Structure 1
């Protein structure tokens, strides 16, 4: 989407006298928002016209109709009801559209006062884009919806890049310096809903691939929006500060990215200010770098098929709040490298593991805590309703209860800080919200009745007049009867006089005499009745007529007052909202640790890596759910060997289905969990800080970019070999299997040597090339391991145990039998395998190459003994004979030759 001025080519159309005033207004607003679908408010519907209507009807599957004519042609139109607009918006945004929401800014009755042809004032109040959603129904409560901006500043040493990202629905705002090489990993970690870039960067071949792989909606903006000088002014104005020094040491690229993001937020929200906190710079290398391929292979927050179920997040998530679910996803996506902060988290989890009663009390109180951050953001943007006020109320109450539970001595530092933030909220706000709101308010302000009875006397009176006018009139009638002594006096109403007092004619003189004549004045005389009125009745009539409007106005006034009080408490509410999410995560990690028998890892500087009894957290739960037996735990030692200053490289051989890939992944996940501040699935774990995590597991192609499976494998392997350092953890599975045997073996061989000599990192290398195990004899940090199996009556039993040593077979034919291949194919495969193995034993690799006839198409219906080589020669010689062309001498010679071959056979 580009944000442009109205197009000049619309001027002639707008001046055409045939254009109706309403359509002229529509075209003017549409011209100002050319790249958006325009939701044009008309009463209880949002209408779309012309090309917008045609596009929306296709995308939403709604009926396309017509509404009048424009310049002699029918106007295509479709519409969506106001009360279900969010559902349609969600589908349009998911379909790649952007929507400009145009609201009525005045009541239609006001427009009619200006004349019969006057048009209701309308204008766009916000632009709805993938990165600027705030509505509850448009968002996933368990995930952040980040808007990101990539700033670039050209310097003598090359491009300086920075990534800014913010969630306007929660207020989180962060900054990070990146290089071109780090950009894909950073975008994969943040996973923004929308990425802002300058149009110059968008068109740059250098960044085209990274932007394409970002798997997000990329929005190019004018380069002027990324000018660092103008961006600084925007940030100063947005946060109302005199200097950016208080935000940390920001580079020009940081300022450019943050300023562009703020400008885009300001334009899309049309002046509404979301409660963004000042941008928080993230130090370089503060989190483990995980490239997109590794993140996908390890299935951290979603599986390869895009589902949450089956991911690491799914297996670990025991959170009970939306804020906690989002915080857990962020921690798993960005494990820390700061040992001090990791230790703080582990201390807190350890305390909650031991304090079972406290953990249970905290989790019970957390269940009552709503999504405080998102409700506050909607209220700040004036898109919130009474339920958002109730969410803030319930969140403030829950924060107070949690602070009380945590008000004990001996807490770890992380829990002490959380307790302080939760307890900092003012009692005044808590009391005001608790007394002002009903227990379960309606969704929308227009529904009314969300302020509790007794909170404001004048509101109670207006409601009484609105809802109980008969009782009010009856009470007034009784008052007048007592005052006049006329028991037959009635208070009545008609459309001519309104409310009036009616008495029989016999009481007329009394009503006209002092002192009653001073209060009751004559309105009408009938044959048998006399009618009077009073100032009180006239006032009552006016108040009853406007009671509903008065009640609504008072409720809205109280609503705005409460919103102002919430805004005044904004910083403390933001801090409490963050604390709620952090506390929920710590309780969740303690709960899963106690439930699944996780242990506290020993995280330290250096390159240690010693896992005892490690388990895969996802596979273990899946096996239990399927009742497929217990998970087999395994040890893994990748730390430096005696006398060595670099990590080990473990070459793992073994059968298909033996568990090599699971073993590789589980050790990577254990390291990741430890640095995220979680206990780990193992009996013991000692891990030196990992700064980069690389994984090359599985096979996939990229046909859209012309990449075969093997090409994708080589690209990912190249990234690892070019970037891994001594503190990295690398897991590689089946490198080289996508090409010819000797090509693949040579590539895998060279890759191991490079990892050993150049990268010098802790590595797990699974392979079916048994020849690679010989490297352990020449490379001092290479060690062999294998997966144990047992053969029983022709079948193979996978034990899933990792032991030292090498495998002599891959058991591929046995796995094929388990997969259900036809028996004829299995018999032939076994026959070919036996002959290949026999040839290799006798002749080595050269014998295999010369024995290519083994791979001729085999069409036998049943297993038969393979013909001897000389039998083949006899058959071939007989086939080549041409008796009709032979002389008697030639025929005799051929006969003797056949006899000799037959005797040799």
Structure 2
């Protein structure tokens, strides 16, 4: 047996092999050591080999834990007897990986479980991704320069969040690419370059979908992304050992149809995960996700990460949401129906690969039935086209056939296991009905038979008995032996009488003894035939599931608008953004009702397309920046927005550089992370983009920081001319005399030495950052606050060129924070002699002399 194990294990070196022995899965050697550590199993030995095991019936629980740990599991099952010694044939029937899992026990509800493939073909970065549990299969390629390719990979992996990634070996061989891929919390599978064969992949995909060309799916036959898609499909089929009929098409991901959101923007806006603990708490998705179905929840996340750029599509969603918003009874009825619908896509995926049990079929039947009721309800309400179902009559009829087949065949509350019976309805199979009748009415059948024999023989004291040795028999007393008919066959002689059997009694005994076994066999066969017959309807069922998910998303956004007081935005092509009394959708619900202070913002391509926001710490600059980005994003998503009114000119990209943290894994400081994000924006933004930037340059010296912030502002305003909100503490920037810049500030009210921040935005430049006041509010020691005020006064005098005395030193000896010589040296060090005019040089020289005189 161990030799057999070694032969099988040699073919599955990268997986933990679950080796079936009776009612257990056993693991040996390194597999046992690894599994026991993860699962907390007791490690024992067999013939000197480390081993551990788990019960067969509890395997799913353990497999789920191994998948969560990033492991792959090969399931080796017992087959028929292979030789006279009784050694069972065994073979691997399935390999379960984090990216190919199908069972609900292994999947997170409401979240896609993507398997991704990355390669570079013909200087194009190619992506393919597949959710085996739903059948969604897409591919695309991008032209990226070498400087931007790492950010492109990072952005796509953040969008997809795959559980498993297949990566071309030559990509992994490049440290910068390997590093960015490692940042994704997925297992990485290196693929040799030769597997990305375009011709082989094209043939594989055409055969899979039964077509002569992929042009019908939106791909040229020489599209490089086909290589990634073909390798991905081949990997899945090898793991699952199935053709996967629920994977119906390879679809393109049309990047130009969606607003680009880079990884930093998604992170900084806290769309799906917050910045504090990476959970869903206090995120945008938590606010807007009112979906009732798992498919709807998955689709809503896609909508959030893929805002629309096409005005007509956005307005179609808005029209549907508006209809529901103004028809609250209909909205409530829709959500009530949605509540009872299970995860149809994943149920169908299990049906497609022969993993669906009888309760799965009942769940499909009940959910599709509710779905058709949902469609009828919406059609009767004369809803907009975007809200109504887009299925053909043929597809509707196919769904009805599925409902009818399952209803006629499967019990309302069937067993899960095929070996238990209790699957098929009475009246479906005549033999099954007879056997069930026999099994349930054994005593009555025997009594009816006995009555017949009594009538024919005239012996009224005949008795039918049973024992384990001879089975059923007829007992005849000695006084009636002479009347025994010829068809009675003697089985046993006793002192008080004889025991007989008959051909009919033997037939009844055989039926009774084999009835339960035969019942299970018939039910299994009927179930398997029914399940196979349903596969032809998979395309229609998936279309139905897709429509239900879309309706669920629209209902979710309508419910959010109702609960949170969102309004319908006006979408325009003129690139102006006008938000009246906008609110941050997440911050607002975290505060007591009415406490959030709304603010208005206007960005016009005609004059004020760059708004420079200054103001104190704690005054709410970052909130205003983020809420503007979120309102624009929600509008492009086709959602109502948190504002009194909003006119949103279409954007092609949204960038949000707000705050920064160091990244030790990448070996990057906070300032370097900030500069990377800034560089990506400056190299990628267009005049149609929306850019949100907060505190650019704050992670370095003051002079460097001001210079960087100034240059970045000039570049965004003059070179790119994109709509920009730019918050800063560098008040020097408010003096920039560049067309398109509008100064705004967060209000601060100072009274009796105290300061308050009403969180209100108004025109004008702030007079200061009030950092020392905030430090006082934070509880810094009074001595530190006083000393900070003294130092601030000194530097203000230097900055204004005033010849004032230095701040008085403390009574205790201390060093000055900066000497005048340090300031002069720092200024000289940052001068570029090749890029300075004579007049500017004389001006700087005069200022430095004045500083040294002090």
TM-score (norm 1): 0.85
Choose 357-366 or 850-859, whichever is displaced more: 850-859
> 2 CA distance for matches of 1:229 and 1:133?
28
**1:537 matches 2:511:** no
Instruction: Give the drift of 1:220.
Output: 1.3
**1:99 matches 2:73:** yes
Corresponding residue of 1:550: 518
> 2 CA distance for matches of 1:478 and 1:833?
114
> 1 CA distance for matches of 2:763 and 2:271?
29
- Once the two structures are superposed, residues 253-274 of structure 1 have per-residue CA deviations (whole angstroms, 9 ceiling, x without a partner) of 1211111111001111123525
Instruction: Give the drift of 1:483.
Output: 5.3
Corresponding residue of 2:280: 308
Corresponding residue of 2:224: 253
Alignment partner for residue 56 of structure 2, among 82, 105, 120?
A: 82
**1:201 matches 2:165:** no
**1:802 matches 2:771:** no
> 1 CA distance for matches of 2:762 and 2:528?
68
**1:291 matches 2:265:** no
> 2 CA distance for matches of 1:795 and 1:739?
30
Corresponding residue of 1:684: 645
Matches within 5 A, 1:854-873: none
Classify the secondary structure of the residue corresponding to 1:170: coil
* Contact 2:790–2:808 (8 Å) recurs in 1: no
Alignment partner for residue 168 of structure 1, among 132, 135, 139?
A: 132
Corresponding residue of 2:733: 772
Alignment partner for residue 707 of structure 1, among 637, 660, 668?
A: 668
* Contact 2:614–2:746 (8 Å) recurs in 1: yes
- Once the two structures are superposed, residues 546-565 of structure 1 have per-residue CA deviations (whole angstroms, 9 ceiling, x without a partner) of 22322222221222122123
> 1 CA distance for matches of 2:269 and 2:584?
11
**1:788 matches 2:736:** no
**1:408 matches 2:380:** yes
> 2 CA distance for matches of 1:333 and 1:482?
82
Corresponding residue of 1:602: 570
Corresponding residue of 1:50: 29
Corresponding residue of 2:100: 132
* Contact 2:391–2:543 (8 Å) recurs in 1: no
**Alpha carbons of structure 1 residues 533 and 280: separation in structure 2 relative to 1, 3 Å:** same
Classify the secondary structure of the residue corresponding to 2:258: coil
Classify the secondary structure of the residue corresponding to 1:551: helix
Instruction: Give the drift of 1:702.
Output: 1.1
**1:833 matches 2:806:** no
Instruction: Give the drift of 1:209.
Output: 4.3
Instruction: Give the drift of 1:196.
Output: 1.4
Corresponding residue of 1:657: 618
Instruction: Give the drift of 1:123.
Output: 1.0
> 2 CA distance for matches of 1:600 and 1:132?
40
Instruction: Give the drift of 1:29.
Output: 0.6
- Once the two structures are superposed, residues 510-558 of structure 1 have per-residue CA deviations (whole angstroms, 9 ceiling, x without a partner) of 331xxxx44x443333332332223332222222322232222222122
Corresponding residue of 2:634: 673
Corresponding residue of 1:638: 603
Instruction: Give the drift of 1:653.
Output: 0.8
> 1 CA distance for matches of 2:389 and 2:64?
38
Corresponding residue of 2:345: 373
- Once the two structures are superposed, residues 803-852 of structure 1 have per-residue CA deviations (whole angstroms, 9 ceiling, x without a partner) of 111111222233223333333333433443345445545628xx8xx959
- Once the two structures are superposed, residues 663-686 of structure 1 have per-residue CA deviations (whole angstroms, 9 ceiling, x without a partner) of 111111111111111111111111
* Contact 1:126–1:269 (8 Å) recurs in 2: yes
Corresponding residue of 1:506: 479
Corresponding residue of 1:179: 143
Choose 212-221 or 753-762, whichever is displaced more: 212-221
Classify the secondary structure of the residue corresponding to 1:567: helix
Corresponding residue of 1:219: 189
Alignment partner for residue 389 of structure 1, among 336, 349, 361?
A: 361
Instruction: Give the drift of 1:754.
Output: 0.5
* Contact 1:463–1:551 (8 Å) recurs in 2: yes
Classify the secondary structure of the residue corresponding to 1:413: coil
Instruction: Give the drift of 1:856.
Output: 11
Instruction: Give the drift of 1:592.
Output: 0.8
- Once the two structures are superposed, residues 182-232 of structure 1 have per-residue CA deviations (whole angstroms, 9 ceiling, x without a partner) of 333222212222121222333245743442344432211232321000111
Alignment partner for residue 306 of structure 2, among 305, 321, 334?
A: 334
- Once the two structures are superposed, residues 1-44 of structure 1 have per-residue CA deviations (whole angstroms, 9 ceiling, x without a partner) of xxxxxxxxxxxxxxxxxxxxx11110011000111111111122
> 2 CA distance for matches of 1:503 and 1:546?
27
Choose 729-738 or 534-543, whichever is displaced more: 534-543
* Contact 1:288–1:334 (8 Å) recurs in 2: yes
**Please, which runs of 5 or more residues in structure 2 have no aligned partner?**
817-854
Classify the secondary structure of the residue corresponding to 2:760: strand
Classify the secondary structure of the residue corresponding to 2:272: coil
Alignment partner for residue 556 of structure 2, among 588, 600, 610?
A: 588
> 1 CA distance for matches of 2:42 and 2:440?
41
Classify the secondary structure of the residue corresponding to 1:303: coil
TM-score (norm 2): 0.90
**Alpha carbons of structure 1 residues 704 and 245: separation in structure 2 relative to 1, 3 Å:** closer
Alignment partner for residue 451 of structure 1, among 401, 404, 424?
A: 424
**Aligned residues between the structures:** 807
* Contact 2:169–2:190 (8 Å) recurs in 1: yes
> 2 CA distance for matches of 1:402 and 1:562?
26
Classify the secondary structure of the residue corresponding to 1:569: helix
**Alpha carbons of structure 1 residues 858 and 599: separation in structure 2 relative to 1, 3 Å:** farther
Choose 598-607 or 762-771, whichever is displaced more: 598-607
Choose 77-86 or 732-741, whichever is displaced more: 77-86
**Please, which runs of 5 or more residues in structure 1 have no aligned partner?**
1-21, 861-865, 867-905
Q: Which has the larger radius of gyration?
A: 1
**Alpha carbons of structure 1 residues 593 and 492: separation in structure 2 relative to 1, 3 Å:** same
Alignment partner for residue 120 of structure 2, among 131, 141, 152?
A: 152
Corresponding residue of 1:616: 584
* Contact 2:749–2:755 (8 Å) recurs in 1: yes
